[in-house]
Amino acid sequence: MKYFVTIKDEYGKKIELEVSAEIFQVFDDDRKLIERQRNEARRHYDKRGVEDYIIANESPKTVKSAENIYIDREAIAEILAMCTPTQRRRFCLNKIYGYSCAEIAKLEGCAKSVVVKSVAAVMKKIRKKK
């Protein structure tokens, strides 16, 4: 399998290079880190809480009234409070900080399927409550 990365030369022109899998992984990890940092900065900049961030990213793109958003925030906060610390941690890492389930599994030393089930269980509770 061939791996390619795009870089800029000294004039700002984009160049696509073929690289090894290891180098591609370094570039990909860096891209993911930058994306996580942007999401974190955005979340802090606009002072959204966890509940607001989930509502903004998981809700249909319909206009909601302020009352419905308040109810959603309360419901999500209640659901997260009822989850185990492990479920809450995995959910936040995945949905808020942008880690993939495979990355979380690697961090925690467990199988990816276990992380997927944890995140799915929390999402199921949130969707059921709405």
Residue ranges of domains in the chain: 1-47, 49-130
Rounded-to-integer distance, Cα 103 and Cα 121, Å? 18
Q: Which long-range contacts (CB under 8 A, 24 or more apart) does 69-73 make?
A: 72/130, 73/49
Mean pLDDT score, 46-75: 55
Please state, rounded to an integer, the average pLDDT across all residues of the chain.
77
Instruction: Tell me which of 80 and 71 has the higher pLDDT.
Output: 80
Find out whether 57 and 48 touch, Cβ atoms under 8 Å: no
CA distance 77 to 15: 46
Instruction: Say which residue, 22 or 118, is predicted with more confidence.
Output: 118
Kindly list the distances between the CA atom of residue 89 and the CA atoms of 18, 46, 99, 126, 128, in Å, as whole numbers in the listed order: 37, 22, 11, 15, 20
Mean pLDDT computed over 95-123: 89
**Residue located via tokens 């949130």:** 126
Write down the architecture of domain 49-130 according to CATH: Orthogonal Bundle (1.10)
The band of 20, judged by pLDDT with boundaries at 50, 70 and 90, is confident
Does the pLDDT at position 46 exceed 60? Answer: no
Q: What does the pLDDT read at residue 67?
A: 47
pTM score, whole prediction: 0.52
